[in-house]
Amino acid sequence: MLILWTSAAHWLEQHQLPCPFKAWVYLPCPGCGFQRSLVAFMKGEWISSFEMYPGLMPLLGLLLFVLLHLRKQFTTGASWIQSGYLFVTALILLSYVTRILHHFQNT
């Protein structure tokens, strides 16, 4: 199983998709860094994964909770999922705004 996991991480690292938004607008999009962060997460480099894309780990946790909720039908699961989506969205947008501000400060 570990060999499959590391080979999947290696394959993803070698086959990352380019960002069309960044190619056209010359600015990173809100999803830029997600693929690199996922590869770092799969390699066990969790700190660098969080630095590249802070929304990845909460998003993975939320997806895991959604799968558990579909299986177990928690009583307050739907409200937790809504709150989780709002939190992840806010985190992604906040990190995007700081990335854009940092981009313009360096140009």
pLDDT at 107: 66
- In angstroms, the Cα distances linking 66 to 14, 37, 41, 79, 105 are 30, 21, 20, 11, 39
Pairwise CA distance, residues 55 & 31, whole Å: 9
> The pTM is what?
0.85
Angle between helices 56-72 and 77-105 (to 10 degrees): 170
In this predicted model, what pLDDT tens digit does every residue of 21-51 receive, in sequence order? 999 998 889 999 999 999 999 999 999 999 9
pLDDT under 50: residue ranges of the chain: none
CB-based burial label for 72 (10 Å; 0-12, 13-18, 19+): exposed
Residue 88, pLDDT score = 97
